[in-house]
Amino acid sequence: MSDQPYRAPKLGMDKDSNDRMASKFNKQTADEALAWISQITGDKLEEDFHEVLKDGIALAKVMNAVQPGSVKVTNGKSPFVCMERATQFIAAARKYGVPEADLFSTVDLWEAQNLTQVLQTIESLGRVAQKKGASVPKFGVKLATQSKLNISEANRRRAAEAPTMMTDVGVPIEREVSLKHEINKIVK
C-alpha cells in the first residue's frame, strides 16, 4: 500500500506491476550508493535510501561535486522546494550526459514510486562521471568505450569470396538442393 495518504491503494495489474518494480530494488546497491554519496558530500547519511534523498539536497551536492555549479542548493524543506531540487538534479544529470532512459522522474523519488529508477540514475551518474574523469570516487560499472573496427581491404575481399549460404544443420545450400532433387526423383 502507498505511504501517500491521498492515493488509493494499488489493485490488480497496478499492484502486480508495483510489486515487480519493488522487487527489483537492490538494498545492497542502494547502501553502496549512499556510501558513495556520503564520501562525496562528507555528510553522515541515514540508511533509509528514500528518506536521505527525498529532499534532493544530497543529490544536489553530488551533482555539484561532479559538475560544479550545476544545481542550486537551497535549504528549504517545503515539498515544492524539495521537488524543485530533484528536478534541477535530473536536468543537470541529463545535461552532464546521463542517458535519458536512466533518469528518474521527480515523482519516482518524492512519492517513492520507483526507487529502482532513482538508484539507476545514481549508478549511471557514477558511470558517466568515471568516464569523464570527474574528481569523485568511482561508483558503478565503467562505461564501455566504442572502438572502431579496422578491416583491411584484403580481409574484406576474402570475406566476400567465402561461402555464405549455410542451412540450419550446416549443409551448404547447393548440397541441400541436390539432395531435394534426388528425393523428388525417388518419390516420383
The segment with the largest mean pLDDT, out of 21-25, 44-48, 128-132, 134-138, is: 128-132
Q: How many CB atoms lie within 10 A of CB 32?
A: 17
**CA–CA gap between residue 147 and residue 119 (Å, rounded):** 29
138 belongs to a structural domain: no
Q: Taking 60 as the threshold, does the pLDDT of residue 169 lie above it? A: no
Percent of the chain scored above 90 by pLDDT? 39
For the entire predicted model, the pTM comes to 0.68
Q: Is 92 among the domain residues?
A: yes
* 61 three-state secondary structure: helix
Does 161 reside within a domain?
Answer: no
- pLDDT > 70? residue 184: no
Domain annotation covers residue 144: no
- Reply yes or no on whether the pLDDT at 178 is more than 80: no
Answer for the pair 70, 95: CB distance below 8 angstroms, yes or no: yes
Q: Which long-range contacts (CB under 8 A, 24 or more apart) does 11-16 make?
A: none
Whether residue 107 has pLDDT greater than 70: yes
Residue 169 lies in a domain: no
The per-residue pLDDT for 40 is: 92
Mean pLDDT score, 145-169: 74
Predicted pLDDT at 139: 82
pLDDT tens readout for residues 120-141: 999 999 999 998 888 888 887 7
Residue 181 lies in a domain: no
> Higher model confidence: residue 187 or residue 133?
133
- 140 in a domain, yes or no? no
Q: pLDDT at position 2, please?
A: 44
CATH (domain of 119): 1.10.418.10
Indicate the number of domains in the chain.
1
**Domain limits at 55?**
12-132
State yes or no: pLDDT of 1 exceeds 50. no
- Per-residue CA distances from 129 to 60, 88, 136 (Å): 15, 18, 8
Does 152 map to a domain?
Answer: no
